[in-house]
Structure 1
Amino acid sequence: MPQALSDTEIARALGGLANWRGNAGRLSRTVRLPEQAHGTLIGRVQRDAAELADHAQFERRRGELTFTVTTGFPGRVTEPDLWLARRIEALLTELT
């Protein structure tokens, strides 16, 4: 079972993840991107999340997509969550 990160560790990690916000329970980010790109990005993120046994939830709004990253352990942010957030950033860079 992955270790929960402290508030200090989470804050430090978020310092390197522009536009992400979070707390001990989850990480999230909203991006503006054309709706036709949502499906491709969601599919790739879901595949990466499954490899980590992590979870990424998606909320679509007109021209926006919000990612919420959580582990299977409610109320915890762990290193796999941070890895997935970094992966989402890399995919966004690749797709935009």
Structure 2
Amino acid sequence: MTGITLPKRTERALHELTGEARPEVALILVMRDAVAYRIQQLNEGLAAFEAKYGMSWDAYRERWQDETREQDYAWEAEHDYLEWEGMVTRKRRLEDAYGWLA
């Protein structure tokens, strides 16, 4: 394990944010909170796409891959597909990172 040295101001800030006196534990708590917040933001974005298209990402991706609906290839639909896919991928990566911080 690699050690890091934090400035005293950072250690104090971590202590104030978390109530944890050990900087290494406080840092993990802050990182977990940050990852959880980002996952929450992604969930809100994913819910907006699910509401817009009336289906889950997996259902939308399957429909997209069928290539049977011409309107799926409009600029907005393609843009949404790429953004939605990126959000799903980012959420999976953040969930992995959250697990590493356990």
Same fold per TM (> 0.5)? no
Query: Which has a greater percent of strand?
Result: 1
TM class, shorter-chain normalised?
A: 0.3 to 0.5
Normalising by structure 2, report the TM-score.
0.31
Query: Which has a greater percent of helix?
Result: 2
**Structure with bigger gyration radius:** 2
